[in-house]
Structure formats: C-alpha cells, structure tokens
Amino acid sequence: MKKKIASLLIACVLGTAFLAGCKSSSDSGSRVKNRSADKNEVAAEITNETAANAGELSDDLDLSYEAKDGDAVPVANTGTVDSVADAKKEMLVFRCTISLDTLNFEESVTALKTKIAEYHGFVERENQSDGNDSTGRYVLDEEDKDYYYTATIRIPSEYYESFVSAASGIGTLRSKNSSVDNVATRYGTLKSDLEIYEAEYDRYLKQYNETEDETIALQIQRELRDLAITISDIKTEMSILESDVAYSYVTITIHKVSEKEIVEKVEEEEEEDNSFGARLSRTAKGSWNKLLGFLQGIVLFFVASWWVILLLLILIGLVVFFTKRGIQKSNEKAEARTKALEAQQRERLAAYEAARQRANAENQARAAENQAQIQARIAAQRAAEQAQAQAVASQVEVPQAEAPKAEEPSVEDPDTPSEEKTE
C-alpha cells in the first residue's frame, strides 16, 4: 500500500515537472550529452515511430494567428503569405533592426505603438530617453534635447513584412538590417530526443512498478527524476523555438532631429561632389569645424564648471599643503629621533670611557699594591736572611773567643744506647 502511494506521489511530481518547463534551455544540451548512452539503447525501440513523425514535423506547429471577432487585421500581400508558408515549413525566425529619424517625436512613437496593436504584436523591451544630451546630462533647452526611443517588438510572423514596411514609413529611414534563421533542424532534433526520453521514462516507470527491491527502486527513482528534468528542459527549448517562429523580432530606434539638420543633410547629399578638390575641401572644412567645436566645448566647459574647477584646485592645494606639512613633521620627528639616538650613543661612549678609565685606575692601584706587597715580602725575606746570617756568624765567633775547658766526666744515661756511648 505504501509503495502504491509513493508511486502515485512520484507520478504527480513528475507530471508537474513535465508541465513546469521553467529551466533554461542551456542546461538541456549537457544533460542530453550525458545520457546519450541510454538514448542509444532506446533508439531502436522507437526508430519507426520517429521516422513516421519526422514527416509531420512542420504540420504540428501552428504559426497562424487567429484574430478575434471585430479585430481589424491588415491583409498581407502575396509575398508575405508565401514567406509565412515557407516559415511554417522551414521554421524560420525573422529578425529586423530599423533606425528612423523624425521631426515629431511623440507622434512617431504613438504611431509606432498604434501599428504594434494593429498587427497584434507586443513590446518585449523598450527604452525612452528625453531631455538628455549626448553625454547623458539633462538639459532644459528644447533644441538641445536628444530624444530617443528604442523598442524590441514581437510581431506575428505572418505580418512580419507588412509591419516592417509600415513601421519604416513612420519617419525617415536611416538604416535597416534583417536576418532569417532556420531552426527546423534543431527543432526536429529536440522532438526526436523528446520521444526517446519519454519512451525511456515509460520503461523505467514500468520497471519501478514491477520491482520489489528497495535499492533498485531508489535507483530507478533517481533515473526517473533525471529523465523528468531532461524532458522538461527539452520541452522548454521547443516552446522557445515555437515562440520565436510564431513571433518575429523587430527592433526599432526612433531619433528626433531638427529641420535644420534634415535640410543640411539633404543639401549635402544633393551638392555632393566626388572630385578630389571637393573632398579635400569638405575634409578640411569638417576638420576645422571639429576643432572649433572642440575649443568651444572646452571654453563652455570651463565657464559652466568654474566652481567645480575652483573646488578641485582648493582640494588639491589642501592636499598638497597637508602632505607637505605631514612630510615636514615626519622629517622633524626623524631628525629628533636621530639626534636623540646620537646623544644616547655619545652618553654610552662617555660612560664606557669613564668605566674603562676607572677599570684602568683600579688595575693600576691593584698592580701597585701587589708590587708593594711583593717588595715588602722581599725586604722582609732579606731582613730575615740577614738576621739569620748574623746569628750564624755570632754563633761561630763565640767558641773561638772562649778558652778550652777540662772535660768533666759525664754520667752515662742508662737509657742511652751503647753506640752513642762509644761515639
């Protein structure tokens, strides 16, 4: 029961993922490449079906625009109908860029929006600039204002040529660039891939319902999730291609110009001379006018921005002043530190010299004391030697002066050895 409920929940989630289609189409290519091996396994199962549906590719996409009752839809010419038929068959994406000049800016913009509604289109992006000059600053003088209107318009492809022709007449056409892209091959590849992945998804879903192993069921769930994401990406990209085929891109830029500019432009075109002298004259005149304009711009800039320049000069002066002051203070501090270090070094040298002198004096005093002690010892030793010598001399002189005495018989000591007696 739990497994059936889980299967239903997974089926609901995957169905929602099919209809979401909210992922970017850029990721689908990588996923398609990563799963090319699985696609080859299933390709054999649906080859016949793909071949049968390939011929019906162009008929499956409806590019026609169904007008509502009461809508005034312009009738396209024969060439437009043929191009739309080719677009249905070949899946063509039309793009066009138009640049227009106009004297009545507001009227031209209003006329363009009226044409967009008339041909059942819509504005995808737009940008309008009024009141700014070429540098982006807002100006008050109406003659100096630079008006621009740029819009990216999506028009049904069956009205593409008619709309481009009508929009080009809103103002003076300055440039027009158009291009056509054929996306039929890409769309056919995506459709074949979608059929392959859907068949593979059905095969995995069948295996998931039949398996009893939980591990295998989890692996199949991951495969089903990846397949659902890939299918959703493919459907999203197919939907984008269908939208591009159904609605063409037209980018229109409307620029407001003055009558003087138009007259000068027309006169230059009418009086244009291609000789070398005329071209040299025009080039020199244009260069001189540019130089004058540059010099005038510089003068006007200084006149209009004198207070800004003054503030900048004041700020630069303050920065230079405080920088010099800081450098001077740093130099003074460094000089003071140097002098202090020199004074400390001199004090250390003086203390070292005094200590050295004291040590020398102490050593000299100690040496003198030692010398005196040595001399005293020598004198005492000599005195002792002299005294001893005098004592010896006195002992020698005394027996010679005395007369010889008779020897008295000595009483022998019973303890004296016999040898002493003999002697």
How many domains, the chain? 2
Q: What type of residue sits at position 315?
A: L
Are the beta carbons of 59 and 89 closer than 8 angstroms? no
How far apart, in Å, are the Cα atoms of 7 and each of 15, 16, 144, 222? 12, 14, 70, 13
* pTM, entire model: 0.45
Rounded to whole angstroms, the Cα distance separating 309 from 296 reads 17
Rounded to whole angstroms, the Cα distance separating 252 from 396 reads 155
The two beta strands, 92-102 and 146-156, are unpaired
pLDDT, tens only, 125-175 = 998 877 655 555 555 566 666 788 999 999 999 999 999 999 988 888 888
Do 214 and 357 sit in the same domain of this protein? no
Sequence-separated (6 or more) residues with CB below 8 Å from residue 122: 116, 153, 154
Query: What's the pLDDT score for residue 3?
Result: 46
Tokens at 248, concatenated = 């063409």
How far apart, in Å, are the Cα atoms of 55 and each of 48, 50, 174, 199, 244? 12, 9, 43, 20, 21
Do 213 and 352 sit in the same domain of this protein? no
Tokens at 11, concatenated = 């089926």
Rounded to whole angstroms, the Cα distance separating 74 from 91 reads 23
Rounded to whole angstroms, the Cα distance separating 111 from 319 reads 57
CA 293 to chain centre: 39
The size of the chain, in residues, is 423
Do 226 and 367 sit in the same domain of this protein? no
Closest listed residue to residue 173, CA positions, set 251, 277, 253? 253
Rounded to whole angstroms, the Cα distance separating 109 from 254 reads 8
The answer to the question of residue 152 being in a domain is no
Rounded to whole angstroms, the Cα distance separating 200 from 41 reads 9
The answer to the question of residue 58 being in a domain is yes
Are the beta carbons of 139 and 133 closer than 8 angstroms? yes
Q: Which residues of 319-354 are buried (b: 16+ CB within 10 A; e: fewer)?
A: eeeeeeeeeeeeeeeeeeeeeeeeeeeeeeeeeeee
Query: What's the pLDDT score for residue 314?
Result: 93
- Burial (CB count <10 Å: 0-12, 13-18, 19+), residue 378: exposed
Sequence-separated (6 or more) residues with CB below 8 Å from residue 55: none
- Which parts of the chain register pLDDT below 50? 1-6, 8-9, 12-14, 16-87, 401, 403, 405-423
The answer to the question of residue 297 being in a domain is no
The answer to the question of residue 194 being in a domain is yes
Determine what percent of the chain is predicted with pLDDT higher than 70. 65
Do 192 and 58 sit in the same domain of this protein? yes
The answer to the question of residue 218 being in a domain is yes
Rounded to whole angstroms, the Cα distance separating 118 from 113 reads 9
Closest listed residue to residue 76, CA positions, set 89, 59, 63? 63
Q: What is the 3-state secondary structure (H, E, C) of 335-397?
A: HHHHHHHHHHHHHHHHHHHHHHHHHHHHHHHHHHHHHHHHHHHHHHHHHHHHHHHHHHHHHHH
* Residue-averaged pLDDT of the chain: 75
* Residue 151, φ and ψ in degrees, nearest 5: -145, 140
Provide the domain limits for residue 45.
Answer: 2-62+188-242
- Burial (CB count <10 Å: 0-12, 13-18, 19+), residue 247: buried
Out of 347, 371, 395, pick the residue that ends a domain.
371
Angle, helices 78-90/160-168, rounded to nearest 10 degrees:
130
Give me the long-range contacts of 165-170 (CB less than 8 A, separation at least 24).
166/74, 166/115, 166/119, 167/98, 167/112, 167/115, 167/250, 167/252, 168/98, 168/100, 170/100, 170/102, 170/108, 170/111, 170/112, 170/115, 170/254
The answer to the question of residue 27 being in a domain is yes
The widest CA-to-CA distance across the chain, in whole angstroms, is 193
The answer to the question of residue 319 being in a domain is yes
Out of 342, 371, 400, pick the residue that ends a domain.
371
The answer to the question of residue 57 being in a domain is yes
